[in-house]
A = this chain, B = another copy of it.
Amino acid sequence: MALIVQKFGGSSVADAERIFRVAKIITDTYQAGNQVCVVLSAQGDTTDDLIEKAQEINPDASRREMDMLLACGEQMSIALMAMAIEKLGFPVVSLCGWQVGMNTDTNHSGARIKKVECDRVRDELDQKRIVLVAGFQGVDRHGDVTTLGRGGSDTTAVALAVALGADLCQIYTDVDGVYTCDPRVVPEAHKLDEITYDEMLELASMGAQVLHNRSVELAKSYNVRLEVLSSFTGNPGTIVKEAAKKVEKTYITGIAQDKKIARFALVGLEDVPGVAYKLFSVLAKGKINVDMIIQSLGRDEQKDIIFTVADKDVMDCAKLLDANKDTLNFDHMDINTGVAKVSIVGAGMLENVGIAAKMFEALYQQHINIHMISTSEVKISVLIDKDDSDRAVRVLHNQFFQ
């Protein structure tokens, strides 16, 4: 008997028919003799619909009340799924974040999990019930409802897997697993049987929407065996774990793009120590995540700092910079939302010189201009025009996988 945590995304539970398909997967796992704890997202467009309702009333609503509102999406999901599983004749119970002791910090709309108590979940599993847990939500020390931010249900699932000591954490999505590239952009992309946490991390943060970044980090920290698979096909998925079984022939695992980013350029900053520190602590206090950063060489006692943020943070970031213009002391600010980030990811990258050159060469041959470059141990990212992005992904897939 194994303890399995399963997570199903919003599209997997979008309507009654899909709910029953997922209920079948869950009860099959249960009937095979496993203990099953399931994390669900809100149905289909529920979260977007709720956000729209809130916008109509108050576009500047507090994050606390947004969390209160959005948490309903997952609560409705688990209740409806419980009813479907009851209909199939299996014992089941649904639980919200506060009921499973999903304790988070007080950072509404982007809370981080501090501790999962999960006594209640254990009790229910011991009583042979299938346990459904509302993803994406938690409760802070004041007893207020928090949410973990978009994609937080993956994190809920991995956190539960850690707390319960689960044997496997299955993340069901609408794709078969992790691909070398987005199959909608590159039809030749193929599914990977295995991938390491680090590779997955880079792919996730690069905009491959399969798994939420924080969930992979958490899985890596606690060595939780993850499986990414489809709730539609029933095919085996991709296993995410410490070291892949065999060394892949190619050094590149996957290619990803992220079109939902924007580039900020702060021009004419003073070329003195502490400028970058001041800038990025202002942004950190404003809870704005910065991704790529470039600082130009100083010239005429001035320098420029260029960085990228997620689309959703553009307005907040611009306001914040404006409000701090005097302290930061820059000449002007330039915002470019017409950019995309394209990345190649692979654990073997460091050991193979020339990967970067091969990447830049391919882009050059297609006359794709590179605005920024950023590298890590397992990935190389370039910032290019959004219009070039799909083409870049295709040419890179050709370069590395053909």
Contact = CB atoms under 8 A, between A and B. Distances in A.
A83 B98 contact: no
A78 B68 contact: yes
Given A71-B75, A72-B76, 20 more contacts: A53-B76, A54-B80, A54-B83, A57-B83, A58-B87, A60-B86, A60-B87, A61-B87, A62-B83, A64-B93, A65-B79, A65-B94, A66-B83, A68-B79, A69-B80, A72-B72, A72-B75, A98-B98, A99-B143, A120-B143
Contacts of A62: 82-83, 86
Nearest to A88: B58
A56 interface: yes
A87 B61 CA distance: 7
Nearest to A98: B98
- In the complex, the count of this chain's copies comes to 2
Contact of A61 (B69, B83, B99, B144): B83
A58 B71 contact: no
A192 interface: no
A94 B80 contact: no
Nearest to A20: B57
Interface residues of A, number: 38
Contacts of A87: 57-58, 60-61
Interface in A8-45: 16, 19-20
A76 B50 contact: yes
B75 A53 contact: no
A83 B86 CA distance: 36
Interface of A: 16, 19-20, 50, 53-54, 56-58, 60-62, 64-66, 68-69, 71-72, 75-76, 78-80, 82-84, 86-87, 93-94, 96, 98-99, 120, 143-145
Contacts of A76: 50, 53, 69, 72
Given A50-B76, A76-B69, A99-B143, A19 B83 contact: no
